[in-house]
Structure 1
Amino acid sequence: MKLATLRNHHRDGQLVVVSRDLQRMRAVPECATLQAALDQWDAMAPVLQRVADELAAGQGPFEAFRPEACAAPLPRAYQWLDASAYLNHVELVRRARGADMPEELRREPLMYQGGSDDFLGAHDPIEAADEAFGIDLEAEVIVITGDVPIGCSAEAALGRVRLVGLANDVTLRHLVPPEIAKGFGFLQSKPATALSPVLATPDELGPHWRAGKLHLPLLSELNGERLGAPDAGVDMDFDFGRLIAHAARTRRLVAGTIVGSGTVSNRDPAAGVSCLAERRVREQLGGASALTPFLRSGDRVRIEMRDPDGHSLFGAITQTVRTGVAA
């Protein structure tokens, strides 16, 4: 089944079940919000699935699905944990600044805890006070977990994945170095993250979801031109089971925790990129005299994943950059 959240007069919006083709939707009176569904998943999942089956069969009332009316599926979440599961991306960035790849990064995931109190809808603008901050997109795959016990194994952790989707984890590149130098990590350099309008249960993804990875290209475009389409299942060094287990090594994770893959990246340059930083690194390593600029006011970003028949799985993240916004 596929789920989304419509904007209404409540902070957490209205949960709706969306048809597989993203054309129809229906609210579920028994469950007002996605977080409420996650909190009582065993009881609510059959109810939501029944609505999904009825939508698929053309039964019962429905409304036209309008992704532009959607908030983030979880407008605010209890936890947002983002990783760097694609070591190719990490290696490229470090090589560009002459740094070696520490062996410990090959053994266990790199992960940070991001701001989870304000996720953007897929059509909300990317806002920044100044283009000089170095505004960048980062196209990622995300999962939403149920409750995860402390010390959960990687294999068991995959059974705790409730939903799968996409994210644009915006980064202000020029604010990263001074924050990292302080030794605590990201804060100002990581503004609000946008989520795909729709999330899907793993079973909805069929053979494309296997071994804790989503095996399909992730499409990124800037102003209508393709940046890349790296396969999210290729060159992912830590699958989502490993990522969730890493986060749960010393504490429990509550239902509604969002875990990100980090920037999707393939070793094959022909796959393109999922962020401008990686494109710039490749240009730098190739001896280019001028590098691709970071995002500017008015730029349009699109992130989407489609099945082999060309059908959008989660709807598209389509955002326009708006600068001059008070920080």
Structure 2
Amino acid sequence: MKLASLNQGRDGQLIIVSKDLRLAVHAHDIAPTLQFALDNWDIVESDLQHLSRDLNNGDAQHSFSFNPDHCASPLPRAYQWADGSAYVNHVELVRKARGAEMPESFWTDPLMYQGMSDRFIGPTQDIEAADENWGIDFEGEIAIVTDDVPMGLRTEEAHHHIRLLMLVNDVSLRNLIPNELAKGFGFFQSKPASSFSPVAVTPDELGDAWYDFKVHHRLRVHLNDTLFGQPHAATDMTFNFANLLQHVAKTRPLGAGTIIGSGTVSNRDRRNGSCCLAEQRMLEMLEYGSTQTPFLRFGDRVRIEMLDDEGQSIFGAIDQQVVKYQHKYLAEDLNHHAVHHQEPNPK
């Protein structure tokens, strides 16, 4: 089953999307929003699956063409967004480039931070940043969405609670990260709103590509229409999604709609390219002694997508342009100042 949210209201309007991403049908008679569906999954899942089968069989009434441009993120906002770093070779590389040893515990104890979740960027919505000098970067990831999860969950129980999977662009402001981490209190300003694929899918949609709590497909990232990387998402994934879910729920229960990210997908085989600019820059630093690839500039476009074995897009594409943020309140202040300080009318 494939689910999406039309960009209507703060929490969107739930729709079912066909397997080929061509058609959709409203699901509001069953669940008005995806959050409502996750809150009541045991009650509504059967009806949603039935509607999905009707849509794919051509029997759904009032179906319409699916357009990702009309979508918000599947969950336009969430009660919790926790992002990990399951590809430890990526962490090792970044630390090596700056001459820092990686603690051995990183191989056995996942890294995790809690990100901004009160608003996500839509899958084709612009990425706004006020300053290119912040070091704007994309990070191609995969995420799971849970139902209610009890505290102290065991890894072997995780499959009962993973309801959906999505792709992620975890936008990062690399040049703000060092000073934040130096404070010893984690990310904040350096991790603005993330974005997710237009469609979230139930694990069964992945077929044989979903096993060992990993997605066995390549994650493809294009920068300005040029393939930047296509690492295999299961290869070199040190912690699978069951491990990450168990880690997050160790000391707290999780509410339905919790999103848990994998961190940047990364392979040791560098021929597969990278899913973020920082990794490519670190490879350049190690090889040449300096970086050659710039961070994102205004006007750059990023596309993140995953294809199945037949070349069909599974989640739809995150396809976004980086634009300069217009300081709305600053502009209003300037306009207000101009109105109240203009020359008096001689008439």
Secondary structure of 1:286's aligned partner: helix
Quote the Cα distance in structure 2 between the aligned partners of 1:159 and 1:95.
Answer: 38
Q: Output aligned runs, 1:94-105, within 5 Å.
A: 94-105=95-106
Q: Tell me the alpha carbon deviations over residues 62-83 of structure 1, each in whole angstroms, 9 at most, x when there is no partner.
A: 1111111000100000000000
Aligned to 1:34: 34
User: Quick check: 1:13 aligned with 2:12?
Assistant: yes
Q: Tell me the alpha carbon deviations over residues 28-64 of structure 1, each in whole angstroms, 9 at most, x when there is no partner.
A: 2121000000000011110100011001110022111
Aligned to 2:67: 66
Quote the Cα distance in structure 1 between the aligned partners of 2:319 and 2:157.
Answer: 34
Q: Output aligned runs, 1:52-131, within 5 Å.
A: 52-61=52-61, 62-131=63-132
AA matched with 2:121: L
AA matched with 1:123: T
Secondary structure of 1:322's aligned partner: strand
Q: Tell me the alpha carbon deviations over residues 187-231 of structure 1, each in whole angstroms, 9 at most, x when there is no partner.
A: 100011010000000011101111110010000010001110000
The two structures have a TM-score, normalised by structure 2, of 0.93
Quote the Cα distance in structure 2 between the aligned partners of 1:289 and 1:264.
Answer: 23
Quote the Cα distance in structure 2 between the aligned partners of 1:23 and 1:324.
Answer: 33
Aligned to 2:245: 244
Quote the Cα distance in structure 1 between the aligned partners of 2:14 and 2:267.
Answer: 35
> Does the aligned pair in 1 maintain the 2:155–2:242 contact within 8 Å?
yes
Aligned to 2:337: none
Q: Output aligned runs, 1:1-327, within 5 Å.
A: 1-8=1-8, 10-28=9-27, 29-61=29-61, 62-287=63-288, 289-326=290-327
AA matched with 1:59: D
Quote the Cα distance in structure 2 between the aligned partners of 1:181 and 1:290.
Answer: 22
The Cα of 1:288 is off from its aligned counterpart by 5.4
AA matched with 1:5: S
> Does the aligned pair in 2 maintain the 1:158–1:240 contact within 8 Å?
no
The Cα of 1:92 is off from its aligned counterpart by 0.4
Quote the Cα distance in structure 2 between the aligned partners of 1:36 and 1:324.
Answer: 32
The Cα of 1:323 is off from its aligned counterpart by 1.8
Identity in percent: 55
AA matched with 1:112: Y
The two structures have a TM-score, normalised by structure 1, of 0.98
Q: Which runs of 5+ in 2 are unaligned?
A: 329-347
Q: Tell me the alpha carbon deviations over residues 288-307 of structure 1, each in whole angstroms, 9 at most, x when there is no partner.
A: 55520000000000000000
The Cα of 1:308 is off from its aligned counterpart by 1.1
Quote the Cα distance in structure 1 between the aligned partners of 2:326 and 2:173.
Answer: 14
Number of residue pairs matched?
Answer: 326
Moved more, 235-244 or 150-159: 150-159
Secondary structure of 2:72's aligned partner: coil
> Does the aligned pair in 2 maintain the 1:5–1:15 contact within 8 Å?
yes
> Does the aligned pair in 2 maintain the 1:68–1:123 contact within 8 Å?
yes
The Cα of 1:324 is off from its aligned counterpart by 4.2
> Does the aligned pair in 1 maintain the 2:141–2:168 contact within 8 Å?
yes
> Does the aligned pair in 2 maintain the 1:301–1:320 contact within 8 Å?
yes
Moved more, 57-66 or 85-94: 57-66
The Cα of 1:326 is off from its aligned counterpart by 3.0
The Cα of 1:159 is off from its aligned counterpart by 2.0
Quote the Cα distance in structure 2 between the aligned partners of 1:243 and 1:32.
Answer: 29
Q: Tell me the alpha carbon deviations over residues 225-269 of structure 1, each in whole angstroms, 9 at most, x when there is no partner.
A: 111000001000000000000000011011100000000000001
CA RMSD of aligned residues (A): 1.0
> Does the aligned pair in 1 maintain the 2:141–2:265 contact within 8 Å?
yes
Q: Please identify the structure whose Cα radius of gyration is greater.
A: 2
Q: Tell me the alpha carbon deviations over residues 141-198 of structure 1, each in whole angstroms, 9 at most, x when there is no partner.
A: 0000011111001111232100001010000000000100111111100011010000
